[in-house]
Amino acid sequence: MVSGHRVEPVVGSYDQDVDPCHFTHWRRYQGTELYKNDDDAQRAYFFVNDQVAVDAGGAPNAYHPEDKGLDYLVNAGYPDSTWWPDVLVSDPKNQSVAYLQPSGEFEGYFISKTTLEDQDKSVFDVQRYVDATTVPYVVFPSTFYKQSGTGLMGDIGVAIHLSSGKMSGFVVADVDPGRADLGEMSIKLAESLSGKTANPKNEAGAPKGEILYILFPYSAREHPWPLNIDAIQRIALSQLKQVGGKETVVLCSAKEFDPE
């Protein structure tokens, strides 16, 4: 599995005379530079940043009416925003309020949604959504996701914590309705990269320092959701090898690219 794998530290700086990097500067999103390759056989892009937000979306215990869920209810926009129905399942008997789980381990909790869904399951089944506590995933800001070439929900990627070398595959599973920064991730991905318990309420346990994200846009077409955790990690490692492997992409992230 990719998850928890350590990358050997890169010694020295990028060697411009021996260039294994086939990525070029692509675009900038809110101060984060993105780079892509030009290989139609295996498309990929990457970016590096140190901004992390921990997301509880999709977890069956993410939100509770008494605010005893994994995250604060205000972060779901409930009840005062107009966008909370994008985050929580509405009650079919009264669309103006959120639906409460009627039974099970998390009876009385709201059902937290993700953009990526298992459409074979009911909207009132928590297993329809991608559980932030068990699945490593990233969240795209809506303004980023709307840009051409960024890919699809369900795409696979790899995240590498550059200072520790910890690495994990992930799936793109949610869209933030606002104009957020890149770097929002599930509890599971945060914990895989930090080795600590992550708390969405205060970002405690989130990985610190720069993280390299490699995305494989449109990989969801070949590997449609749902996928189990082992499959996410296996596909991520296979895709990474096709663009030169972890060492090559880490070296690329240290390269000084020519400006556009």
Predicted confidence band at 18 (pLDDT cuts at 50, 70, 90)?
low
Residue 121 in any domain: the answer is no
In order of 14, 92, 244, 248, the CA distances from 10 in angstroms are 9, 54, 15, 10
Alpha-carbon distances, residue 245 vs 7, 29, 130 (angstroms)? 11, 25, 27
pTM (predicted TM-score): 0.91
CA dihedral 224, 167, 191, 173 (to 10 degrees): -20
Q: Domain for residue 125, yes or no?
A: no
245 and 181 inside one domain: yes
Structural domain count, the chain: 2
pLDDT tens digit sequence for 44-82 = 999 999 999 999 999 999 999 999 999 999 999 999 999
Both 176 and 239 in a single domain?
Answer: yes
Q: Is residue 122 part of a domain?
A: no
In this structure, is residue 46 part of a structural domain? Answer: yes
pLDDT digits (tens, 9 = 90+) for 186-206: 999 999 999 999 999 999 999
Q: Which domain, by its residues, includes 148?
A: 5-54+132-253
Phi, psi of 193 (to 5 degrees): -90, -25
CA angle 215, 77, 75 (to 5 degrees): 60
Asked if residue 144 and residue 67 are part of one domain, the reply reads no
For residue 118, is it within any domain? no
Q: How many CB atoms lie within 10 A of CB 157?
A: 27
Residue 82 belongs to a domain = yes
Regarding whether 91 and 14 lie in a shared domain, the answer is no
